[in-house]
Structure 1
Amino acid sequence: MASAPPAIGTEPAPPARRGARTAMILLIACAAQFMVVLDVSIVNVALADMKTSLGLSPAGQQWIVNAYTLGFAGLLLLGGRAADLVGARRTFMVGLCIFTAASLTCGLADDGTTLIAARAVQGLGGAVLAPATLTLIMTTFTEPRARTRAMGAWSSVNAVGGAAGAVVGGLLTEYTGWRWVFFVNVPIGIAILAAAFLYAPATHGSRGGLSRLDLPGALSVTVGLTALVYGIISTESSSWASPQVWAALAAGILLLAAFVVIESKVAAPLVPLAVLRRRTLAIANLVMICVGSAMFAMWFLLSLYMQQVLGFSALKAGLLFLPGCFAVILGTRTSTHLVRRIGPRPLLVTGMAVSTFGFLWLSRIAVGGSFTTDVAAPFVLCALGLGMSMLPVTAAATTGIQPREAGLASGLVNTSRQVGGALGLAILAAIASRAVGGHVSPGVQALTAGYGHALLFAALFTSGAAVGSLFLPGRPAPAGPGATPDGPR
């Protein structure tokens, strides 16, 4: 069998040199992806210091997280489309430049508004950069076994990066100050940019380039989600009946409806609506929204509980997240080994049941509690179940999907996780705020009661995900003449 042709834009090279070059491309892609994933969670343990330094309100603390998440979620599919149309190398470098510059601006911010705006731009950069890392791998590693190994490394980086954010954030906040959770991206980003300039293959996109990007669709879904989250967060200071809340929610719903109309009309939509008619894909995305809602809020709420109620430093809180980080990795590794044998449904149902039990246990946190007796065991259960869910829900979403649609399906699942994280954090933080405001005893007792209420509602998200998982494919079976992409009908 003939060997795979060299990457576009490169000259044939001896095997040793070609192997070193492809290893460097894998390192570049994984390092960039690690940076993007890390920034979803790295700010959590730094929020208390940011609040003191910049005078942030509780809603402002949420926006530090959600501005990045919404920018990332709303534009992720557009970033993936850009990599296809204008070339992975060019898209990668543009996204990395935006991400690095925004990180510098975040670190230099002297008020909450500037920081939140820079976080949104950072999310934009991440949305452009992340799909390009995967495209670089797919176009560089053409031999099936090598591609599988490269994809395994990229997937491991996703798991480790998301789990390590709290620990890295705690270390940086304690020893260098909260601004370094952003500054750290600058030298790393410059180094990756230089390496990409030297080693990443020059690829050519499709004819038409940027003119074929669905900018109206990306704008409507991003602004619509932001309006929804703004409306929900506004309930912390205003009643549900206030004009401010209703105007934001109505605007969000109208913009999301406009997004659906746009996708049905444009020639190259971000989300071809026909693909959402596949039952397993639609259910998998709903399940992932629930998973993301619980997962993002867990790190946020526990970080505030450990620092504001238990009085831990940012470093101690970050280090105490380590058991949860290891549990996420363990859950991910377990599902990797089992998903081909037993199918996604048993793993998802089990993982979500374990997380639900953990959240119910966590909701009993007390003012005079300790990490060892009140947090450690249920936190590990929550993290283990959430780790078990990541790969199975992606596997379910891509079941029966044609190869040409696999990237879109996995991109939709990643988008759903970010959307769920933003909406879930807004909802659960609003629940916590309402419980704090209605508590008879102010101070740490009210805070503890609020966090407990929010964690109890997080259990509703994971239990909903468990129920939804029952409708996903079970044990894999050989394809038969009566099978359809979504299973027997």
Structure 2
Amino acid sequence: MSGRPSAARGRPRAALWVAVFTGPALRTALLGGLLVSEAAIGSAFALNGGELAILVECSIFGGLLAVVLLPTLTKVLGARALAIGAAWATILFLAAGMALAPRASGGGGATIVLFAAALLLGFFVALLSPITQAMLNKATAADPDARHSLQSVWSAGLPAGFIAASVVGGVLVEWTGWWTALAVPLALAIVAALALLDRGLAHPDASEAEAAQSSAGEVAILVLALVAFEIWSTWGSLASWLEPGVLLALLATVAMGALALGRLRHSENPAISLAPYSVGGFAAATLILLLYQLPTTAEFEVLLLTELRHVPAEVIGNRTAIGNAGQVVGTILAAGLLFQRRVRLALVAGFGLSIVGLAGYVAYPWIDGFAYIAATRTVTGLGGGLLTPVLFVLALNRMPVPLQLAAGTWLVLANIGGVELGLALFDAVLEISTNVTGSDLIAYLTVEILQLAVCIVTALIALALVTTGRLDMRDASPPSAGPTAEPAAPKQGAS
């Protein structure tokens, strides 16, 4: 992108700014609330560490399921009704949980209800991320400046929600009980619900979700592929990645994933439209977003600090909070650079800071002072804050309005799925390295060095994509909505 910022246009509605921030913030706030209250939940329901891990995975699985089913649900209910319904369902579930939790006790029935509630909450809160992404792009189709600013606000919501839930929730849990960790997600859900009631917001029309016309069998295959992945990743993390059952689950995941992808490519109306991939820059930006999640979100350096250096949990929590604050600052810097059309600088700075931060993690076995571990985490957070909104802008810069919802679905899926995949892959590397070397130190160093290498390779891939023109840096406004603006879907069997 080059040139001076365009002339000022009408600013987006205040409700849109609020919805765009609270949509992604709500999802990460629920995760932050669950993580900060894990120990208290375990005590209240007599859950062990493995069961608590499954509880968190239920929430994450619900989020992935929501993103996969979003086009279908949008066609049936409409984007506006779905968004408002998801926000109010979240409010009802959280309020009921906070009201009933003080009287709940451990037991089979109560535990099942807890796990089901985590799955449903994860489902509802995740719906708002891609919907608000499509809303902001539709509302700013002819205003790149506003689109860039709103993308930064959307990206800032991701770490901000987690920070608020972790910090405020942690204090409330200490004062009262685990259920008060739900206060921040509840507050965000209320604000989001009120903002979404504004009828002036540009909700993506149901007609834009063409993929929703797919058959129930196709949707079922997608869901089964997702279930297979969750079984493999959860089972492997709790047991061993080399167990025969886990390896069979991996084979099932690959087989179901290949089947689902084949159905998407050959279906006239796929469950999630592949048409966004025919728009210039989208495939490249989505690939970089996915790869970037792998090394930067797994945070195995936390295990290194706690298990090898015995760093207290409070220190780790403070480090995480400061690092997430750095990510928020990074999104603010990204907004300024996008406004000035300096996207190349944002990309270079984002990758550079991320690489420096990850390189700093390699020294953790020998340097574990708070100033050092907080500084390196903050540098990594700054890099992520710079890159995320820029990658979303590049992915959606030329996306026709009718494809915004499908495109946002793929991007959010890459964002969430990359985190899950990174956790699974690097955990497997940690186990295998430990078995081969017999040294925890060497195993953790192997993981940290590999994470750094993946980030460097991702930066080199991004450079190659920019050089070859696959990742277009030039500014552009998406074509207006209409039948002639939408590119043809990929032909059956096309690569």
TM-score bracket, normalised by the shorter chain, equals 0.7 to 0.9
- The aligned residue for residue 78 of structure 2 is 87
Letter paired with 1:73: L
Contact 1:159 1:332 in 2 (8 A): no
- The aligned residue for residue 6 of structure 2 is none
The TM-score with structure 1 as length reference comes to 0.74
| Structure 2 stretches lacking a partner, 5+ long | 1-10, 477-486, 488-495
- Find the aligned partners of 1:457 and 1:44 in 2 and give their Cα distance: 26
- Find the aligned partners of 2:398 and 2:20 in 1 and give their Cα distance: 28
> Which deviates more, 226-235 or 287-296?
226-235
**Structure 1 residue 44 displacement after superposition:** 3.5
- Find the aligned partners of 1:157 and 1:440 in 2 and give their Cα distance: 41
After superposition, where does 1:211-360 map in structure 2 within 5 Å?
212=213, 216-236=217-237, 240-276=241-277, 280-298=281-299, 302=302, 305=305, 310=310, 312-314=312-314, 317-339=316-338, 344=343, 347-360=346-359
1:458 aligns with 2:451: yes
The TM-score with structure 2 as length reference comes to 0.74
After superposition, where does 1:77-226 map in structure 2 within 5 Å?
78-79=69-70, 82-83=73-74, 86-103=77-94, 108=101, 110=106, 114-134=113-133, 144=143, 148=147, 153-182=153-182, 184-186=184-186, 189=189, 193=193, 195=194, 199-200=198-199, 205-206=206-207, 212=213, 216-226=217-227
Q: Deviations over 1:6-55 (max 9, x none)?
A: xxxxxxxxxxxxx9x95356545644543223224443444455455556
- Taking only aligned residues, the RMSD between alpha carbons, in angstroms, comes to 4.3
Letter paired with 1:122: L
Letter paired with 1:75: A
Contact 1:28 1:192 in 2 (8 A): yes
1:423 aligns with 2:421: yes
- Find the aligned partners of 2:436 and 2:93 in 1 and give their Cα distance: 38
Contact 1:294 1:459 in 2 (8 A): yes
Identity %: 19
Q: What secondary structure is seen at the aligned counterpart in 1 of 2:464? A: coil
- The aligned residue for residue 470 of structure 1 is 463
- The aligned residue for residue 493 of structure 2 is none
Q: Deviations over 1:95-129 (max 9, x none)?
A: 12443455467764847665444332222112333
- Find the aligned partners of 1:303 and 1:164 in 2 and give their Cα distance: 23
- The aligned residue for residue 402 of structure 1 is 400
Letter paired with 2:458: A
- Find the aligned partners of 1:289 and 1:261 in 2 and give their Cα distance: 20
Letter paired with 2:161: G
1:138 to 1:171, Cα distance in 2 relative to 1, 3 A: same
Higher relative CO (Cα under 8 Å, sequence separation at least 6) belongs to 2
Letter paired with 2:357: G
- Find the aligned partners of 2:474 and 2:131 in 1 and give their Cα distance: 33
1:88 to 1:260, Cα distance in 2 relative to 1, 3 A: same
**Structure 1 residue 76 displacement after superposition:** 1.7
Contact 1:288 1:417 in 2 (8 A): yes
- Find the aligned partners of 1:235 and 1:220 in 2 and give their Cα distance: 22
1:282 to 1:49, Cα distance in 2 relative to 1, 3 A: same
2:60 to 47, 69, 92: 69
- Find the aligned partners of 1:264 and 1:190 in 2 and give their Cα distance: 39
- Find the aligned partners of 1:472 and 1:71 in 2 and give their Cα distance: 33
Contact 1:233 1:430 in 2 (8 A): no
- Find the aligned partners of 1:32 and 1:173 in 2 and give their Cα distance: 24
- Find the aligned partners of 1:301 and 1:279 in 2 and give their Cα distance: 37
**Structure 1 residue 185 displacement after superposition:** 3.3
- Find the aligned partners of 1:237 and 1:439 in 2 and give their Cα distance: 21
| Structure 1 stretches lacking a partner, 5+ long | 1-18, 480-484
**Structure 1 residue 263 displacement after superposition:** 1.7
